[in-house]
Every structure is written in C-alpha cells, then in structure tokens.
Amino acid sequence: MGSVASPKRLGPVAAIMGNQQLKRVVVLFVINLAVLLLAFSPYLKTLFSSDSYAHIEEGNGLYYQGHLWLGRPVSYAIMAILYHLGVRVTSHQLLLKLILLVCSAAGAVIITLLFAKIKGNNDWKTLLLANMAVLLSFVNIFIQEFYYFPEAGPVFGFGLLFTALSVWFFFRRQNIIHLLLSLLFLVLSLGMYQVLVQLYICWGMCFWLMESKFTINKRVVLRFFQLAVVCIIASAITMAVLVLFQQIGIAFVSERNVSLSAVWGNLAILVLQVQGFLWGFKHFVAFNWVVPLVFLVLLALLVFVLARRKTKLVGWLMVLFTLAANYLSVFLLHAVTDSVWAVPRTLVGFFGLFTTVALILLFLQPPKGVRWCAAGAMAVFLVFSVIHIGGFGTAQRVNNAVDAQIAREVHEEVLRYEQKGGVRVEKMVVGQDASPVYTYPENIGYSYGDQNYRVWQNFWGAVAAYNLYTDSHMQVVTMSDEVYAEYFEGKNWDTFNAREQLVFVDDTLYMVAY
C-alpha cells in the first residue's frame, strides 16, 4: 500500500514549496538558463567594452566606488563585497556573466509562476507558453547590452531578480507585510540600476489587469493605488539618496540628472527620433521588420480574443490603459532628465510591453489556433533575437581584435623610438582628431550607443587597452596643448597613420586617433 511522502522525506525546500511546485521551478529554471546560455553564449568569452579596458588596472577598487558616484548604493555594496572576495571585473568576466544569467533565469521563473498563480492554472502547456512570453523581456537586443559590459553583470543580474521579487511579493499576498517586501525589493532594484523601474511598471500593470479580471471596482482601484505608491516611494527614496550623495560630494552631477525644465525638449526628441529607432530599428540590420511584425501579430490576436469574448467597454479601456502605462513607462526617466540618452540598456522596458501583450492574451484562455499563432510569433522573435545577439557578440570580438592590432602597431613604434633614442617611454595620452571615427568599418550595423565603439576614441580606456595588448605599463597623462597645436590641431585622418598620429617627446607618447 502506497503512502504519501512526509515533509521530512521531501526535504526542506520541497516541504515549503510542495513536490510538484519544486519540479516546476526546477524545470522552468533549467529551460530558461538553457535559452539564455544559447542566446548570450558569444558573450561568455573574455571580451572588453570600451569601459572594460579602463577597469583592468583597478587595484584601488575604483570600479565599485564608481557606483556611489552614480547614486547606486546597492550596486556599490554588492560590487564591493565581490571585490574584497578577490573578484575582479575584467579578469573574472565569466563569473560575473554567469551571475547575470542565473539571476535572469530565476527572475523569469518568478514572473512565470506568478502568472500561473493569478490565472489559477499550473498545467505544463500554460506554463511553457507563459514562460516563452516572459522570456521576451529577458532575451532581446536591448537587454543584450547588459552583457556587453561584463563589469556590470551582477548589477544588472541582481537588479532584474530584485525587480521580479518586488512584483512577486506585491501580488503573492494582499497584506501590509507583502507590500513592504515589494517596496524593499524595488528599492534594492533601483539602488542598483534606476532604469529597471520600467520592468516593474510593465510586469506590475500586467498582473494588476489580470487580478482585476478586466472589471473596475473599489478593490481594483485600491490595488492600482498601492502599486503606484510602491513605485513612487521607491523612486523617491532612490532620488533622495542620489541628491544626498551629490550634496555631500559622493555622487557627481551628470548631464542625465533630473530636470523638469528639459521636459518639452525631451518629449520632442522622444517622439520625433526615438520612436523611429524603436520601431524602425535603423541601427540594427536584418531585424527591422521582426519587431513591429511580432508586436502587431500579438496585438491582433489579443484584439481578436477580446472581441470573441464580447469584452465590455470597461475591459477594453483597462487593456488600453495597461498597455499605454507600460509603453509610457519606458520614456518616463528620459523625459525628466537633462538630456535624452536613449541607448538599449535604458529602454529595456520596451520589450516588457511584448511580454504584457502575450501574457494578457494567454490569460484570456484563447482557442488552440490562437495559442499556436502566438507561440509561433514569440518563437520567431526569440530566434531572431538570438541571431542578432550573436551578431553583436561577434562584432565585439572583431572590435577587440582591431583594438589589439592597433595597439601592437603603436608598440612597434614605441620600441623603435626607444632603441633609436635610448629613452624609455613611460607615459602616454590619446586624443582625437578633427573628425573622430567611433566605429570600425567591420562593425557597421552592430554599433550603437556605447556598443562596439573603438577604444581609441575613449581617453579613459585607450592607454589601459594598450597596456593590456602589449604587456606594458604606461602611465596616463594629459594632452599637451603645445604638442596638440603643433602636430594635431585641425588635422583629420581616416586610417591609422603611425608617423603622423604618434609624437614622442622625451618619455611621453602623444597619440591622436583617427
């Protein structure tokens, strides 16, 4: 005669979660980790962003201290702990990227299981389709930029995980304890990377709509108010910390600080320029048609199912309100800063909108044909994302190779000068010509924002890159006004020319990159 396993025989984790729930968690986590490994495998190699080079010689722990300068105390704490444990952001890249992968996989599991809880359906077909929808937020060419900066892997990874936990606790139970836990994890998330508020709003609004069952009443209004208050308080705490750090001199005032006076100009940029970038993807080859096509397919399926269910007007309005709130959240921070820096990592909530549409569709229990169409559209999106992420990763490897080649050519000139003059070159500075070229021709189509830019155009990382690739120990100095005026001012080059772009004065190399 069989017997039911006791909690002790199940083990402590299974006793808390239940054997079936634990199985779902493990299976979903393995699936997510496998997909993420496949998508971001090009980044598991040792690669350097233009910023990464600057952190190679971080004996004083400058990198983790930099998070305080940006008003990100949680990032500072985590990176400081890793630093004091002996982890270095450039020599231990694989570890930092694995932290990002594992946290992302766990975050996706949390959001998927929350969907299953609110829907009240844990069957595998529902879970796998919902998980595919959630992965749209974690496997795309915007979040790909998180992997481009290996030194920030734990920052982005724990930030994503804390955001998912914040949403989880908000909807897990409706009591003050869970509201406070939601607030705590959102504060932790924004204390790592402020932009992640976009995903909190996207996922939160999505589950708010599902929890409401597409109806409006006092309880639904109260839940929306609670969701908004958690977001507002967490954002206010984050801003207060930043302002405090600036006042006491820990954080610096950058060109991307809050400025209400710039709102109208920023809105014009967001409408006239950024929308074309998002939907036209002018800077991303071979991908420009997939994004709008997949979104239109998912949106059309959602409209079809809503109409088929004879949804009341209030239901339509709530769906429209949810999607509008999701989309506008992507631009909230950009609208109120001194300048619009619309690069992929600052727009990650954009693909949260895709997740929202897909999850709402699945929540409505669409017919089998609609589910297959949605699955097909999401699969196309994920496949093209993986392909294009691979393109960016390959471009970064090529970028590093050309950086290294130029470093070796410069080193040959250094050795020639030293042998000829009997002087050891110990100092170096890199400047720009009259019209700088920020990308190599090999990477056209895979360079945007901060991605895949030549290190020789970044004064903070160029000398470190030279030292890395030539096993040298040059000291960074400032450009001499006299040398620049005599040899470089007003001149422009389109290729590397050692004779014209390198000037030696005693023990110092002055270089201007084309």
Q: Phi first, then psi: what are they for 62, rounded to 5°?
A: -60, -35
Measured CA angle at 187 (ends 185, 189), to 5 deg: 70
What band does 7 get if pLDDT is binned at 50, 70 and 90?
A: very low
Cα–Cα dist 139/381, whole Å: 9
d(CA 268, CA 263): 9
Q: In this predicted model, what pLDDT tens digit does every residue of 299-353 receive, in sequence order?
A: 999 999 999 999 999 999 999 999 999 999 998 877 777 777 778 888 899 999 9
Q: What token pair was written down for 467? A: 């030292």
Residues in Cβ contact with 435 at an 8 Å cutoff, skipping those fewer than 6 apart: 492
* pTM listed for this prediction: 0.89
CA distance 184 to 511: 49
pLDDT, tens only, 250-308: 766 665 566 666 778 777 777 777 787 777 655 444 456 788 899 999 999 999 999 99
Residue that is written with structure tokens 């976009």 in the block? 198
Question: How many whole angstroms separate alpha carbon 258 and alpha carbon 304?
Answer: 41
Predicted confidence (pLDDT) per residue in 412-432, tens digit: 999 999 999 889 999 999 988
pLDDT (tens digit, 9 = 90+) per residue, 441-487? 766 667 777 778 888 887 778 898 999 999 999 998 999 999 999 99
pLDDT surpasses 90 at 107: yes
Backbone angles phi, psi at 44, to 5 degrees: -80, -10
Rounded mean pLDDT of the chain? Answer: 87
Tens digit of each residue's pLDDT (9 = 90 or more) over 110-124: 999 999 999 988 788
Question: Three-class SS of residue 7?
Answer: helix
54-94 residue pLDDT tens: 777 655 455 667 777 777 889 888 988 888 888 887 788 89
Classify 337 as helix, strand or coil: strand
For strand 502-505 and strand 508-513, is the pairing parallel, antiparallel, or unpaired? antiparallel
Identify the residue with better confidence: 151 or 371.
371
* Cα torsion 327, 332, 338, 344: sign: negative
Contact 76, 67 (CB under 8 A): yes
510 secondary structure, DSSP code: E
Which amino acid is residue 115, in one-letter code? Answer: F
Beta bridge partner(s), residue 505: 508
Cα–Cα distance between 144 and 225 in angstroms, integer?
33
